[in-house]
Amino acid sequence: MEISRENLLKLVNEALKILPNSYAPYSNIHVASAILTESGRIYLGVNVENSSYGLTICAERSAISAMITNGDRKPVAIAIVTDLEEPIPPCGACRQVIAEFNPEAVLIMYSAKTHNYIVKNLKEIFPQPFIVKK
């Protein structure tokens, strides 16, 4: 599927809408993610922190869970939106979890504060995922 600039901007907008729902009272770093799948549907997620810090779930993995919960399987583009000054790339754990479903997903990383953004393919920042053939 060809990922148009229009599709990427729509994803960023969907993520911006739910950014206020991010639960991040400990780090105060708010993150929202929106996933466009091959089927054309969009799934959303935010980071969910916990007083037991290690239990925190990132926005990207929340969105991947929503995608799987709803019976979809292939993310083609993923927006990662934060309120930090600079766009943030997915953490290592999220890279591995996204790669399970599409190691060549397009990522758009966007700062809600400065409107700076970066577009990269997951394979550029995670070239050797651990994937077991099914």
Amino acid at site 25: P
Contact between 18 and ligand THU by CB under 6 A: the answer reads no
User: Is 60 labeled as catalytic in the residue annotation?
Assistant: yes
Rounded Cα distance, 130 and 99, in Å:
8
Cβ proximity to ligand THU: between 3 and 19 the closer is 19
Cβ proximity to ligand THU: between 42 and 79 the closer is 79
Contact between 118 and ligand THU by CB under 6 A: the answer reads no
126: left (phi over 0), alpha (psi -120 to 50) or beta: beta
Cβ proximity to ligand THU: between 18 and 59 the closer is 59
How far apart are CB 116 and ligand THU at their closest, in Å?
Answer: 17
Query: Residue 131, CB half-sphere, CA atoms under 13 Å: how many?
Result: 17
Range 27-56, binding ligand THU (CB under 6 A): 27, 29, 31, 47, 49, 56
List 2, 6, 38, 60, catalytic entry: 60
Range 63-82, binding ligand THU (CB under 6 A): none
What are the structure tokens assigned to 3, written together? 């990922």
Contact between 94 and ligand THU by CB under 6 A: the answer reads yes
Rounded Cα distance, 52 and 71, in Å:
30
The interaxial angle of helices 59-69 and 92-101, nearest 10 deg, is 20
Residues recognised as catalytic: 60
